[in-house]
Chains A and B, each alone.
Chain A
Amino acid sequence: MTTASTSGPARAMGPSLQQQRARAAFWFLAPMLFALFLVAAWPLMRTIWFSFTDATGNIYDGKFVWFQNYVRVQTLDSGKTMYRGVFFDPKWWNAVYNTVRFSVVSVIFETVLGLVIALVLNAEFKGRGIVRAAILIPWAIPTIVSAKMWAWMLNDQYGILNDILLNLHLISEKIAWTARDDTAMIAVLIVDIWKTAPFMALLCLAGLQMVPRDIYEAARIDGVHPIKVFFKVTLPLIRPAVAVAVIFRMLDALRIFDLVYVLTPNSTATKTMSVISRENLIDFSKFGYGSAESTTLFAILAIFVSLYIWLGRVDLTGETSR
């Protein structure tokens, strides 16, 4: 950071002003904290509470059942032992698998593609402004709209994508992209990468533009190959920026709902954790069970973020560098 705001102006003025400012700070924060408590903390706690009940359509009918939504061991009359609950639900694990697969693949592609586009935009050429504007368009389009646009382009009979691929002789017959189990995930990935790679490019570009130009100059004079410069100089320098962008995208990907719900409705090959949780909560009226799934998703994300920040030493708030 360039601005020197080490302690604010208060330190020189003595403790009373500091105290006065701290008191004011509390009242300035109070409305925001109350609002966040109301819309985030409270509903989250209620969701966790519901996950310990067997509530159904009428949410207040549920009894407290401890962890039975998560793990339930039943012994049938025949003597057979059955394991039930979210942790033993193959549908849930299928959703976890779908979500993780989607997130990892999409984020890898988006990061690589984003970096490539960012490197292009970092070069100086005529029409750079136009390109930068053009790549903002996918980001500006609402997800539902892009899902519908691509659903039309991916349509089996009248879709333009099949037409292009047929003309290029890349496929021999029309593919029902969103309906087939083996291509549904590819369809979701295509749309998500299209929509988010430009966003990644902008984040990477912001990182690239902070690399001092004279570093490249020095490398050029020393005769270092551009590819070596990229891996030895550029990449290490923009690593913090990319690391932050990747975690933001990863969290976004892990909670994906709208694109999957609209592009490939009811496909088991793409159903993600968010989709299956909502399905149980709303469509199947299994309020307690759906809450248990939502809570598990929340726990998975929390563990993932903590690990990432801890292992990667990522500084998200920018507090320590000040």
Chain B
Amino acid sequence: MKRSPMAILWNVLFYLFVVAIVVYAIFPFYYAIVTSFSTGTALFEIHYWPKVFDLANYKNVLFQRQFPRSVLNSLLIASTTVILALFLAVTASYALSRVRFRGRGLLLMVILAVSMFPQIAVLAGMIEMIKYFGLFNTPFAMIISYTVFTLPFTVWVLTTFMRDLPIEIEEAAIVDGATPWIIITRVFLPLLWPALVTTGLLAFIGAWNEFLFALTFTLSEDQRTTPVAIAMLSGASVQEIPWGPIMAASVIVTVPLVVLVLIFQRKIVAGLTAGGVKG
């Protein structure tokens, strides 16, 4: 069967459109990589294709600045926040998804509302609290304040995951006389691992990218997180913006994220759409 010219034309147009979407999505990142390998005058000429391969920008960022320290800060803060949130969220979402009690719907709404909170609304109160506990300009300031968005998010996603687990396993455990705590740790936790990994990864990305709290609660360069460090990266003078090192730093913090996201692609999409679109 020969295809009509019209169908072929539509096919070509369709694929052109697909290519346009892909270019639109990845070009800025591609261009950041190209720029990060350019130095001197090459930086200020426009190249659509990689022309030079110079690691000077990476050396600058990794050895002449406090940037590696910022990466360590971010790693420490994001992983602590995520572990804390997951720990608190597992038991809470068991109660929210498997036990009927009055006001459950309202409680779920409140948790969702907190995750949608404008962070600026808690900023003033948070500054007071952080200063009261003497945590200003320490990683703990971020670990505490990031809980405001990681915790409701993890509770929310884990609750929707747990709702969909079959009721029969739990019934069997109850008949055997298992307490709710045993049910969570022995029955649910092994089933929840994939969900925990996905949720943890999403919360980690959120904490890794956070800017407002990190900008407000850090003062010295060695306490900055990576987003703040990149935003504040400065040159020899105020007018001179070090585009090369900025792009190198951007590529350094983005590549691991992109790799993680591509590995966990399907799970991430499931996690993002959980709750919102289901039901």
Q: Which of B122-173 contact A (CB under 8 A)?
A: 122-129, 131, 144-145, 147-148, 151-152, 155, 160, 163-167, 170-171
Chain A nearest CB from B75 CB (Å) reads: 14
Q: Flag A116-136 by CB within 8 Å of B: 1 or 0 each.
A: 010010010101001111111
Q: Which of B22-61 contact A (CB under 8 A)?
A: 22, 24-26, 28-29, 31-32, 35, 43-46, 48
- A7 near B: Cβ within 8 Å? yes
Q: A31-B88, A120-B18, A149-B250 are in contact. Are A24 and B124 (CB under 8 A)?
A: no
Contact A136 B31 (CB under 8 A): no
Chain A: interface size category: 35 or more
Chain A nearest CB from B218 CB (Å) reads: 12
Contact B112 A39 (CB under 8 A): no
Chain B nearest CB from A237 CB (Å) reads: 12
Contact A143 B151 (CB under 8 A): no
Residues of B within 8 A of A185 (CB): none
Complex CA–CA separation, A94 to B200 (angstroms): 39
Contact A294 B108 (CB under 8 A): no
Closest to B276 in A: A244
Contact A10 B117 (CB under 8 A): no
Chain B: interface size category: 35 or more
Complex CA–CA separation, A274 to B121 (angstroms): 9
- B275 near A: Cβ within 8 Å? yes
Contact B21 A146 (CB under 8 A): no
Q: Flag B212-249 by CB within 8 Å of A: 1 or 0 each.
A: 10011000000000111011000000000001001100
- B111 near A: Cβ within 8 Å? yes
Residues of A within 8 A of B98 (CB): 5, 8
Q: Flag B246-263 by CB within 8 Å of A: 1 or 0 each.
A: 110010011001101110
Q: Which of A252-280 contact B (CB under 8 A)?
A: 254-255, 257-258, 261-262, 273-274, 277-278
Residues of B within 8 A of A42 (CB): 125, 129
Chain B nearest CB from A114 CB (Å) reads: 11
Complex CA–CA separation, A7 to B99 (angstroms): 8
Stretch in contact with the other chain, from A78-86, A213-221, A228-236, A312-320: A312-320
Complex CA–CA separation, A257 to B258 (angstroms): 23
Complex CA–CA separation, A251 to B235 (angstroms): 36
Residues of A within 8 A of B31 (CB): 149, 152-153, 160
Q: Which of A286-322 contact B (CB under 8 A)?
A: 287, 290-291, 294-295, 297-298, 301, 305, 315-319, 321-322
Complex CA–CA separation, A138 to B127 (angstroms): 32
Q: Flag B96-118 by CB within 8 Å of A: 1 or 0 each.
A: 10111100110111011110111
Contact B127 A133 (CB under 8 A): no
Complex CA–CA separation, A117 to B24 (angstroms): 12
Contact A202 B205 (CB under 8 A): no
Complex CA–CA separation, A123 to B253 (angstroms): 34
Residues of B within 8 A of A45 (CB): 125
Q: Flag B74-101 by CB within 8 Å of A: 1 or 0 each.
A: 0000000000000011011011101111
Q: A136-B268, A262-B231 are in contact. Are A39 and B163 (CB under 8 A)?
A: no
Closest to A317 in B: B108
Chain A nearest CB from B42 CB (Å) reads: 11
Residues of A within 8 A of B29 (CB): 137-138, 141, 149
Contact A301 B163 (CB under 8 A): no
Residues of A within 8 A of B228 (CB): 144
Residues of B within 8 A of A5 (CB): 98, 163, 167
Closest to B35 in A: A152
Complex CA–CA separation, A147 to B86 (angstroms): 30
Residues of B within 8 A of A21 (CB): 99, 180
- A105 near B: Cβ within 8 Å? no
Contact A202 B160 (CB under 8 A): no
Residues of B within 8 A of A295 (CB): 121
Contact B92 A29 (CB under 8 A): yes
Chain B nearest CB from A192 CB (Å) reads: 13
Residues of B within 8 A of A3 (CB): 163-167
- B66 near A: Cβ within 8 Å? no
- A59 near B: Cβ within 8 Å? yes
Complex CA–CA separation, A51 to B125 (angstroms): 10
Contact for B276 among A25, A158, A248, CB less than 8 A: A248
Residues of B within 8 A of A315 (CB): 279
Complex CA–CA separation, A192 to B16 (angstroms): 24
Contact B109 A317 (CB under 8 A): yes
Complex CA–CA separation, A128 to B241 (angstroms): 39
Contact for B216 among A39, A131, A248, A278, CB less than 8 A: A278
Contact B46 A160 (CB under 8 A): yes
Complex CA–CA separation, A281 to B101 (angstroms): 41
Closest to A287 in B: B124
Contact for B167 among A9, A255, A262, CB less than 8 A: A9
Complex CA–CA separation, A4 to B145 (angstroms): 38
Residues of B within 8 A of A211 (CB): none
Chain A nearest CB from B131 CB (Å) reads: 8
Closest to B117 in A: A40
Residues of B within 8 A of A147 (CB): 231
Contact B209 A319 (CB under 8 A): no
Chain B nearest CB from A288 CB (Å) reads: 9
10 cross-chain CB contacts under 8 A: A1-B279, A43-B125, A142-B254, A144-B227, A202-B269, A202-B273, A207-B277, A248-B276, A281-B127, A319-B105
Contacts A9-B174, A144-B211, A144-B230 given; 6 further ones with Cβ under 8 A?
A: A26-B95, A40-B117, A142-B254, A148-B247, A152-B246, A160-B46
